[in-house]
Amino acid sequence: MKKNILITGGAGFIGSNIALKLLDRGLNVTVLDNLSPQIHGDNPDLTSPLYRSINNKVNFIKGSVTSKEDWINAIKGQNAIIHLAAETGTGQSMYEIQKYIEVNIGGTAIMLDLLANSSHNVKKVVVAASRAIYGEGKYECRNHGTVYPTERLDEDMSKGDFLCKCPVCHEAVEILPTTEDSKIHPTSVYGITKQNQEQMVLTVCKSLGIAAVGYRYQNVYGPGQSLSNPYTGILSIFSTRIKNGNGINIFEDGKETRDFVFIDDVVNATILGLEKEEANGQVYNVGTGVATDVITVADTLSKFYKREIPIKISGNYRLGDIRHNFADISKIKSELGFEPQWTFDKGIEAFTSWVNDQEIPEDKYELSIEEMKNKGLYK
């Protein structure tokens, strides 16, 4: 493994946990992060346990990946880069389009431009992609075999029909685990930007003789996750609602599923890519390979918090949301030896135990819904 590691977005949920693990291994860690108020609050020294966990332990640079000067300062002397910095959230990306493009694609372009045109010591780049690049993922049609449904139609969902359909015969299809060679067809601006980040890094680094690895993370959760961001992280959003005594509005019919992967497993998978030569030039799904529906999420959280709150399956929906996605993780298992250590129940127990010790922020979920309503994205 390399000695000096730069983590962009290293004060965030995934980045801070990776930083702490690398510090434990005796590496020198530099973090470039803008301490976004949406994640860290207005006073990170007081309101961000993520930032406090790495403060005074890493070489911290408060700056933006959209600034060439900040990149120059951050890259100096680094042997490897873990590029996590990005605007996140599929819903928000559909109306803050310029911001997502500038940060996710533009910031990555500046990094690659500097790697191509300046003197540096960087030998490896690990880039965070997302399961969002798959859009609806892989399905099985009884008539046409493996298919990749396009985004669901407003006219269907408005009638309570949330199922994915075969793009050929339009019959309902069954979800399959998504492999890395599945069709890439994101249904949100966020997904498009993550696809571009991955492609740019793998393409440019190869031409420069720099090793590159792409990680397509599923739904990451665990202690330390921001409880104040109403745009990302269903477990955090639901937890903040429950702890504030508010009910949960479950979209669609509640049977939509996600692959929830615990933060420790994500950290271990990412470091494997940093360490192992076998990962060079490859992309990997990082998940558990298990699909969990939203009703189960709400019921499990309610059980662990010992709170009886109203749970409403409303039939509301967001345009651009996917129905299902869970990962096939056979590639990362066979090539890097990755094996998830955390089941959903075990992870939720650890997460809720941590939440119970936190000061719970104001619930801003309804404000985020109003924003989407005003943009015509919430029905």
- What tokens were used for 243? 């702890």
* Calpha distance 115→138 (Å, rounded): 35
* Calpha distance 218→349 (Å, rounded): 19
User: Which residues neighbour 334 within 8 Å (Cβ) at sequence distance 6 or greater?
Assistant: none
Encode 309-342: b = buried (16+ Cβ within 10 Å), e = exposed.
bebebebebbbbbbbbbbbbbebbeeebebebeb
Return the SS3 of 196.
helix
Q: Give 102-166 as a DSSP string.
A: IIIIIHHHHHHHHHHHS-----EEEEE--GGGGTT--EEETTTEEE---PPPHHHHTTT----B-
Contacts 24+ apart (CB under 8 A), 18-25: 18/82, 18/84, 18/267, 18/270, 18/271, 19/54, 19/57, 19/58, 20/53, 20/54, 20/57, 21/267, 21/268, 21/271, 22/271, 23/57, 23/58, 25/1
The full 3-state SS of 72-107, as one line of letters, equals HHHHCCCCEEEECCCCCCHHHHCCCHHHHHHHHHHH
Nearest CA-CA partner of 61 in 43, 35, 81, 24:
35
What is the CA angle 232-236-238, rounded to 5? 105
Amino acid at the residue 233: G
Residue 175 is given by DSSP the state E
Positions annotated as catalytic residues are 190
